[in-house]
Amino acid sequence: MPEGKYCFRRPLQTEEDILHLLSDTRGTNYYKEMEELEVDTEALKKRLDATCKSRLRTWLDICARCGLCADSCFLYRVNDRNPEQVPSYKVQTTLGEIVRKNGNVDTKFMLHAMEVCWSRCTCCSRCAQYCPHGIDMGQMISYTRGLLYSQGFVPWELKIGSGMHRVYRAQMDVTEEDWVETCEWMAEENEEEYPGLTIPVDVENADIMYTCNAREPKHYPEDVAEAAILFHIAGENWTVPSSGWEQTALCMFAGDWEACKMQVQNVYDAIERLKPKRVVGTECGHAHRASVIEGPYWCGRPDGKPPAPYIHYVEWVAEALRTGKLKIDPAKRIKEPVTLQDSCNYVRNYGLSEITREIISYIVEPGYFVEMAPNKDYNYCCGGGGGFNGVGRYRAQRNKALKTKRDQILATGCKLVIAPCHNCWDAIRDLEEEFEIGIRWTFLKPLLLKMVVIPEHLRPAEEEE
Amino acid sequence: MYEFLTGPMLWVTFTVFIVGCIWRVVRYVRGLSWQLDRVAYRPHFALGARHALKSVFYWLVPFGSRSWREKPGMTILFFAFHIGIVFVPLFLEAHAVVAKQRLGIAWPSMPAGLADGLTIAMLVAGAGLVIRRLALPEVRIITTGYDYLLLAITMAPFVTGLACRMDLPGAEGWLLAHLVTGHLMLLAIPFTKLSHMVLYFCSRAQLGMDFGIKRGGERGRGIVW
Ligand code: SF4
Ligand code: SF4
Ligand code: SF4
């Protein structure tokens, strides 16, 4: 069968497309059809010629097959050191094979490659730090996902997710109206407690333009409110764009590079339209990777930078605490053992390990912060990265992967985990559900709100003495 | 035969070896693409270069990188093997003599005892690498015949060279074998995975730039990628 009714090579372009695929519960028919989906070897070969250049080919060629990357991969370790989880093996048997055969691979192979690329690697790039040749298997798997996606071999949820980005410029069906309404609603909801609180939409030349993760307006609107309250307390001159507010890119996990470009261009357009001094993104790792680290390249910005300085939420928090825009009530600092999840995407892949610890120094009573081991740039993935969290087909594998973080947390003895990354936060929630180790987990925003000093003039009238 | 292998053929081999290596590097650099690799090589060249050098350097120092420190056994095998393979052929007295006589080049050399020691260490390490490949499941699964072949190609000139040095019976045969395997190794470098002799510097530098320019070089502290 060349292509099926549910499973086909072309991306989802319209709302109907998305609804059609969503109607196929859990992708049952989708995966069934995939078993017979033909590979367009000509197209695959063309894509290889156009995109597989010297860096990837050299990496494939000179890999010394030394196995030094094995221990670096949490999936190898957590899967009882199964040799099939050695990063080099995973790449050589997928991308390596496609390149050796110059695209001449069959459906069975593609199904296998899909399983490897989405259930045996979270593209966390930890292995890149351990390879003598500087081979980054995370990037190679990510590249391979692009090849697979172009042929229609992609997990159902991610096919839909990247379709969402194409249709709504958001990972979920949150429209511009939904977004603006949520902002208004959240401002109203909290106005009483914080007089003067607003969520200003589309203000030009503000100091800060704020962008977030579509899950926030969709499922956790209080997160939007918390961001607003903290900006309000800090006295920031800020705004949100009516369009271009969504910062994530599930299409990046899907390997749909075209959608990645559409998605981030929308954010950059908002920056160019509103001309903020800088942009602050929410507590999300992959959002930061998409819009700040990789996004400029998708959009062809030669300097590799977004149109305005674009910082991660932790950078804004550290700065606000450092400059006294946010003041912590010493009596309310955390006085229980607490640990911190270093998100791969903005720590290992963006260098923000120290700044998160600076935040800790303000909000945790000295002596109560316990580091995970390993940590900072060497931290392991939470277990749900790279789209792993969202793919039903690989739930069992994902749950196993969570054991790494579970054991790291257990070893700290802490009951509280600070996780300033959406995806890590989700993974930690899931691991608690799965293993019930009795922990709590939190973003920075609600924590800060509990301990920040509210300046006199911002308090509600009746509280004034 | 000896005359030929240390005369005209030496020129041929050296030419193929050097031109081949240069060609591999040129092809590598030309195949880089800032947009496909997602690294803005040019606009942040100084930052990138700094981290590229740092990355190359720390991985060339025994125990210089975290990876080397976490795997001390492998590190010792690796460095014993590579130090021998690089320095013995370059600075062996007998080679300096040939260079002087046949090519008219004055070349420095190292004491014979040191050369012997390094050769033996290299061979022992080579054997260790073979055993490691066989013994560790995570290495066995990625090892192919090609990897053993390359180990054989690199170790053969050392085995035969050592045989000459120890005056084993059949001296002339050993010398000839040494010459042939030596040529073979040099010729194999540009065309096989042994090209990592030069490409290591390229890919290592590339990752240093990648992390240096876009993945935190400006913000991270003291990490070697
Ligand atoms: S550490 Fe690097 S060279 Fe060694 S097997 Fe892994 S990817 Fe290949
Ligand atoms: S990128 Fe992460 S998950 Fe993937 S192979 Fe490397 S260490 Fe393992
Ligand atoms: S979810 Fe968090 S820990 Fe996991 S790969 Fe992404 S950033 Fe890393």
Rounded distance from Cα A248 to ligand 3 centre (Å) = 13
Residues in contact with A177: Cβ distance below 8 Å, sequence separation at least 6, in sequence order: none
* SS3 (DSSP) at A418: strand
Segment A397-445, tens digit of pLDDT: 999 999 999 999 999 999 999 999 999 999 999 999 999 999 999 999 9
Interchain CB contact of B184 with A (< 8 Å) = no
| Burial class of A198 by CB neighbour count within 10 A (0 to 12, 13 to 18, 19+) | middle
Determine phi and psi for A460, rounding to 5 degrees: -65, 150
Buried b (16+ CB within 10 A) or exposed e, A410-440: eebebebbbbbbbbbbbbbbbbbeebeeebe
Average of per-residue pLDDT values in chain B: 94
User: Is the pLDDT at B88 greater than 80, yes or no?
Assistant: yes
- What length is written for chain A? 465
Tell me what pLDDT residue A2 has. 84
Radius of gyration over every alpha carbon of chain A, rounded to an integer in angstroms: 22
* Sheet containing strand A440-442, strands side by side: A338-340, A416-418, A440-442
Tell me what pLDDT residue B64 has. 95
Q: Would you say the CB of residue A87 lies under 6 angstroms from ligand 2?
A: yes
List CB contacts (< 8 A) between B40 and chain A.
296-297, 302-305
Q: Would you say the CB of residue A108 lies under 6 angstroms from ligand 1?
A: no
Among the partner residues B32, B43, B221, nearest to A54 by beta-carbon distance: B32
Are the beta carbons of B207 and A355 separated by less than 8 Å?
Answer: no
How many Å lie between the alpha carbon of B213 and the closest alpha carbon of chain A? 9
How many Å lie between the alpha carbon of B113 and the closest alpha carbon of chain A? 30
For chain B, percent of residues with pLDDT exceeding 90? 84
At A381, which helix (H) or strand (E)? none
Distance of CA A305 to the CA centre of its chain: 19
Cα A137 to Cα A154: distance, rounded to the nearest angstrom: 19
Rounded distance from Cα B11 to ligand 3 centre (Å) = 54
Q: Residue A334's beta-bridge partner residues? A: A364
Cα A365 to Cα A89: distance, rounded to the nearest angstrom: 45
Tell me what pLDDT residue A246 has. 97
Higher per-residue pLDDT: B166 or A300:
A300
Reduced to 3 DSSP states, what percent helix, strand and coil does chain A have, rounded to the nearest 5?
55, 5, 40
Q: Residue A311's beta-bridge partner residues? A: A280
Below-70 pLDDT ranges, chain A: 1, 462-465
Confidence of residue B104 (pLDDT cuts 50, 70, 90): confident
Q: Are A13 and A162 in contact (CB under 8 A)?
A: no
Segment B50-77 shows an average pLDDT of: 96
What is the interface pTM, i.e. ipTM, of the complex? 0.95
Give, to the nearest 10 degrees, the angle between helix A422-435 and helix A395-412. 90
Confidence of residue B198 (pLDDT cuts 50, 70, 90): very high
Segment A310-369, tens digit of pLDDT: 999 999 999 999 999 999 999 999 999 999 999 999 999 999 999 999 999 999 999 999
Tell me what pLDDT residue A1 has. 67
Tell me what pLDDT residue A462 has. 65
Cα B134 to Cα B148: distance, rounded to the nearest angstrom: 10
Is the model's pTM score more than 0.80?
A: yes
Cα A38 to Cα A4: distance, rounded to the nearest angstrom: 10
